[in-house]
Amino acid sequence: MTDLILDAGALVALERGDHTVHADIQTALRVGKPVRTNANVIAQVWRNGARQARLAKVLKKVTVEPITAEDGYRAGELMGATRTKDVVDATVARLAKSGDRVYTSDVGDLQKLCEATGFKAVVVGC
C-alpha cells in the first residue's frame, strides 16, 4: 500500500477548499491508505486553529511525523545535492518511498528532492 504524503501546499489547498485535494485525502483515509506529513509542514501552515477548522479536522486523521536530528542532516544533504533551498520540502521528500504520492504546490523542487532520495515517488501538483 502506498502512502499519500502532504506538503504545505496540499494543506493550504485543502484549507482554501480545493475539492480535488480534499477528495483524494478522504478517499485515501477511507480505504486505509496512510496519509502522512511532518511537524515542519504543520508549522508552515498552522496559524489559528479557531479559523482553520477544515484543516484541523483533516489533521486529526493524518499521521504527523516528528523531525529528528538525523532528518536534519539528511535534508541538508538533499538540498546540497539538488541545489534547492526549502528545508520543509527536503523533509517532506524524506518521508516518501517508491510509489508514494506526494502532494505539493512546488512540483519542480519536490521532484528533484524525491529523485535524489533514490525512491520513485509520484509528485502531484495542487
pLDDT by residue (tens digit) across 26-61?
999 999 999 999 999 999 999 988 889 889 999 999
pLDDT by residue (tens digit) across 67-124?
999 999 999 999 999 999 999 999 999 999 999 999 999 999 999 999 999 999 999 9
Q: 67: domain range?
A: 4-125
Does this model's pTM top 0.95? no
Burial label, 75 (beta-carbon count in 10 A; 0-12, 13-18, 19+): buried
Structurally, the chain folds into a number of domains equal to 1
Q: What are phi and psi of 11, to 5 degrees?
A: -70, -35
Read off the CATH number of the domain in which 15 is found.
3.40.50.1010
